[in-house]
Amino acid sequence: MQYRKLGNTGLKISELSFGSWITFHNQADVDKTYDMMKAAFDAGVNFFDNAEAYALGKSEEIMGEAIKRLGWRRGSYLVSTKLYWGLHDTPLENNTLNRKYLLEGIAGSLQRMNLDYVDLLYCHRADSDTPIEETVWAMHNIIERGQALYWGTSEWEADQILEAIDIADRRNLHKPVVEQPVYNLFQRHRFAGNYHAVYKGKGYGSTTWSPLASGLLTGKYIDGVPEQSRAALPSMAWLKDELIDEAANERVRALLPLAKDMGATLAQFALAWCLQNKSVSSVLTGASRVEQVHENMKALQFVDKFTPDLMAEIDRITGA
Ligand code: NDP
pLDDT tens-digit map of 5-61: 999 999 999 999 999 999 999 999 999 999 999 999 999 999 999 999 999 999 999
Over residues 259-274, the mean pLDDT reads 98
| CATH class for the region spanning 3-318 | alpha beta
Give the closest residue to 289 by CA, choosing from 29, 15, 1: 29
Domains of the chain by residue range = 3-318
Rg (CA), the chain: 19
Dist. CA 185 → ligand 1 center (Å): 14
Over residues 212-221, the mean pLDDT reads 98
- Catalytic residue chosen out of the listed positions 34, 54, 84, 221: 54
Residues near 201 by beta carbon (within 8 Å), at least 6 away in sequence: none
Find out whether the beta carbon of 218 lies less than 6 Å from any atom of ligand 1. Answer: yes
Q: CB-hemisphere CA count at 13 Å for 66?
A: 26
Q: How confident is the model at residue 179 (pLDDT cuts 50, 70, 90)?
A: very high
34 included as an active-site residue? no
For ligand 1, atom 7, the nearest C-alpha belongs to: 215
Tell me the best of 27, 36, 124, 212 to mutate to test the pocket of ligand 1, counting ligand atoms within 8 Å of each CB and taking the most.
Answer: 212
pLDDT digits (tens, 9 = 90+) for 94-148: 999 999 999 999 999 999 999 999 999 999 999 999 999 999 999 999 999 999 9
Residues near 29 by beta carbon (within 8 Å), at least 6 away in sequence: 62
Backbone region of residue 27 per phi and psi (left: phi > 0; alpha: psi in -120 to 50; beta: other values): alpha
Amino acid identity of residue 181, one-letter, is: P
For ligand 1, atom 18, the nearest C-alpha belongs to: 292
Q: What are phi and psi of 22, to 5 degrees?
A: 70, -45
